[in-house]
Amino acid sequence: MLNLFIADLHLDTNNPQGIDTFIEFLKIKATKADKLYILGDLFEAWIGDEDLNQNYKIIAEALSDLRKKNTLCYFMHGNRDFLVGQNFSEITGCHILPEEEIIYINGKKVLLTHGDLLCTDDIEYLKFRSEVRNKKWKENFLNKTLKERNIIANKLRESSKDAMQSKSEKIMDVNENTVKEYMMKHSVSIIVHGHTHRPNIHKYLINNQECSRVVLGAWHDDPKYLQWDNSGYKLVSL
């Protein structure tokens, strides 16, 4: 069985080349897989499922075609596209996962998560995350017009960029103690995540057990996806 894992594509209509690269990946790589897991930030921004019909129709069609070719597709929210909803799921055929999902591959228990919850040193971001993930905030935002939502989303992105410039690399990476806590909490030996844009496979020894943390790459920077088949797993460059 072949499983593929991707994250942090940050697809944007202002970057058609990025969209073309993703669609080519779906047609050439993903159609050979049994399952494709998208672990957040597929889109640079998502202001509501109405935007799917207007700006991202070609992506929706490509994902729908993938499902018709018998590749199961799973989508997890990231910090950029946490407003992806049920309409997206119905149109594309992607199953929406919770922010912490347990799967089993080759007898291994694996935790999937976007990765931002592991960055517990970034207190300012986690506070913001809590605010925008609030049900009332999301309802108020989605009740606005698309034009109003676009204005708000652009302001939030600019604020995020400004904030990142003043933060150290360490703050924006995962907290190693938090990683170990998550592994013990879920009784897993492997975590797969994105968000940090630092593709690598990290090894740990927890309670005398060898554990791994697999970090997926951002496609605009160092594009790497995880390939996991019966022989094992590895990060693969596009």
Q: What is the pLDDT along the chain (238 residues), one digit of tens a residue?
A: 999 999 999 999 889 999 999 999 999 999 999 999 999 999 999 999 987 777 789 999 999 999 999 999 999 999 999 999 999 999 999 999 999 999 999 999 999 999 999 999 999 999 999 999 999 999 999 999 999 999 999 898 888 877 777 677 778 899 999 999 999 999 999 999 999 999 999 999 998 999 999 999 999 887 899 999 999 999 999 8
Neighbours of 100 (CB within 10 A): 15
> What pTM, to 2 d.p., does this model score?
0.95
Cross-sheet strand order for the sheet of 35-39: 95-97, 72-76, 35-39, 3-6, 224-229, 232-237
User: What tokens were used for 153?
Assistant: 């989303």
The SS3 call for residue 103 is: strand
Task: Select from 230, 237, 186, 231 the least CA-distant residue to 211.
Answer: 186
What's the rounded Cα separation, in Å, for the pair 86 and 63? 15
User: What tokens were used for 75?
Assistant: 């989508």
User: What tokens were used for 33?
Assistant: 């897989």
Question: What domains are defined for the chain?
Answer: 3-237 (3.60.21.10)
Q: How many residues does the chain have?
A: 238
pLDDT at 109: 97
The helix (run of H) or strand (run of E) holding residue 157 is: helix 146-165
Do 11 and 22 meet the contact criterion of CB atoms below 8 Å apart? yes
